[in-house]
């Protein structure tokens, strides 16, 4: 266990934990179907053959989760609202209860409005889905906006585009390669329309959660440098540039649907903060003529780049390298690229998959990444908060229940989905109590 206390963080720095509806709620019989329900029903789609029909059963056991959050001493809880549940009779009642219970426990509710569980009848390939999303956001804001201060519109549009629509390894399971890029634009348009809807409802603290990873070239050869630059454009700047600069970068703009340029004023609506999800850098080179792999993900040989393993680093159970300084690089890089166009930052996801209750590897991971975040603060980057992924072990998408990201162990074999805090839970609780609360 990391013995040294964390360095002091600024007064008012927000500490939270994250989850998402489809991964923890269960109660699938009490909501409409999502694209993930359809995907999970396809043989071979989920590594362990499971579904999220019950998951952590947080729909019925959310008060246990609120108690766990309060026991950690966290300020905030980032959860997601299930669009398919809101489309069901009484679906917003669950979030009413959750918000009230969080506030009673002194925990700020931070709902994410889209975390990949699109209603099965809708399709991000269709522009109209963005307008449908805005109408759904209006309904949620009308019900919860009197108590919710902080909102997140969309989570990780890059992953939902590329894993779900380009490579087909996530729901909805399309394999469109670069023809999937309109999906990215329609999610960004939906984000901008949601910002407008939230502002109209009186919301004053609105952000988005975007994944970011440093892209490192595998060598200084011009072919590898060019491939790494394109990969960086595709996975990072194709999302941050339209959001923060109001334009798509060269190399991607040409692949967007007709009319995309006219939407950029909406896409780039002013944000109160910009959320960063960080896990690990990408090491990229020119195509090798065969497939390449990152963790459990295979990159097709027809892509104009190859992804390589970062050697000499410890690895999580997911096979991802542990590179804390990559978080510092992401945060300072955003500051340097966007300068006065960049709103304050929030780390909206950061965490790791490891087994066991005595999860010393997770403690080391979190300790190192929080110190890396602090180095960005020392370098003058305006970071306002940090959310660990995740509060609970959960349904980890196409991996099913094989990967455990939680501070709290969930026994998926028990009908009660018994929750047991891990060593990392106690470590974070003690750090918050002894090192960070004194700064307020």
Catalytic residue among 64, 349, 396, 399: 349
Are 301 and 291 in contact, with CB atoms under 8 Å apart?
Answer: yes
Active site residue 269: no
Give the separation between CA 35 and CA 39, rounded to whole angstroms: 6
DSSP string, 280-335: --EEEES--SS-EEETTEEEPTTSSSEEE--TTS-B-TTS-B--THHHHHHHHHHH
The angle subtended at Cα 122 by Cα 120 and Cα 126, nearest 5°, is 150
Long-range contacts of 226-229 (CB under 8 A, 24+ apart): 226/286, 227/284, 227/285, 227/286, 227/287, 227/304, 227/305, 227/306, 228/284, 228/285, 228/305
Run of H or E residues at 176: none
CB crowding 60-99: b at 16 or more within 10 Å, else e: bbbebbbebbbebbbbbbbbbbbbbbbbeeebbebbeebb
Catalytic residue among 138, 156, 269, 399: 156
Active site residue 138: no
Give the separation between CA 281 and CA 133, rounded to whole angstroms: 31
316: closest CA among 409, 405, 214, 218? Answer: 405
Return the active site residues.
156, 349
């Amino acid at each position: 266990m990391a013995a040294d206390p964390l360095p002091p963080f600024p007064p008012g720095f927000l500490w939270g934990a994250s989850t998402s509806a489809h991964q923890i709620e269960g109660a699938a019989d009490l909501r409409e179907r999502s694209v993930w329900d359809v995907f999970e029903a396809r043989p071979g789609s989920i590594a362990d053959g499971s579904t999220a029909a019950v998951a952590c059963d947080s729909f019925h056991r959310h008060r246990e989760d609120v108690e766990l959050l309060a026991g950690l001493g966290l300020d905030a809880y980032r959860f997601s609202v299930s669009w398919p549940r809101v489309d069901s009779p009484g679906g917003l009642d669950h979030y009413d209860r959750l918000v009230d219970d969080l506030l009673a426990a002194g925990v700020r509710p931070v709902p994410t409005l889209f975390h990949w569980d699109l209603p099965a009848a809708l399709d991000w390939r269709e522009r109209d889905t963005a307008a449908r999303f805005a109408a759904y956001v209006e309904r949620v804001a009308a019900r919860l906006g009197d108590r919710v201060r902080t909102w997140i519109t969309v989570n990780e549009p890059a992953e939902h585009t590329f894993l779900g629509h380009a490579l087909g390894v996530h729901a909805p399971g399309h394999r469109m390669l670069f023809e999937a890029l309109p999906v990215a634009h329609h999610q960004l348009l939906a984000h901008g329309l949601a910002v407008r809807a939230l502002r109209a409802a009186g919301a004053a603290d609105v952000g988005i959660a975007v994944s970011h990873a440093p892209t490192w070239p595998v060598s200084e050869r011009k072919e590898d440098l060019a491939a790494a630059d394109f990969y960086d454009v595709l996975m990072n700047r194709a999302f941050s540039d339209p959001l923060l600069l109001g334009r798509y970068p060269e190399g991607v703009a040409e692949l967007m649907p007709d009319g995309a340029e006219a939407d950029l004023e909406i896409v780039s609506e002013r944000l109160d903060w910009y959320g960063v999800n960080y896990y690990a850098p990408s090491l990229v080179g020119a195509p090798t003529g065969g497939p390449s792999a990152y963790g459990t993900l295979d990159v097709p040989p027809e892509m104009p780049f190859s992804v390589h393993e970062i050697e000499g680093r410890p690895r999580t159970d997911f096979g991802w390298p542990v590179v804390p300084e990559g978080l510092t690089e992401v945060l300072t890089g955003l500051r340097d690229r966007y300068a006065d166009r960049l709103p304050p930052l929030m780390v909206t996801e950061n965490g790791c998959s490891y087994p066991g209750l005595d999860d010393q590897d997770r403690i080391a991971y979190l300790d190192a990444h929080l110190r890396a975040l602090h180095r960005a603060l020392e370098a003058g980057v305006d970071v306002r908060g940090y959310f660990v992924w995740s509060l609970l072990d959960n349904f980890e998408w196409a991996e099913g229940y094989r990967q455990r990201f939680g501070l709290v162990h969930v026994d998926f074999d028990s009908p009660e989905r018994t929750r047991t805090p891990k060593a990392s839970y106690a470590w974070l609780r003690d750090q918050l109590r002894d090192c960070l609360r004194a700064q307020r």
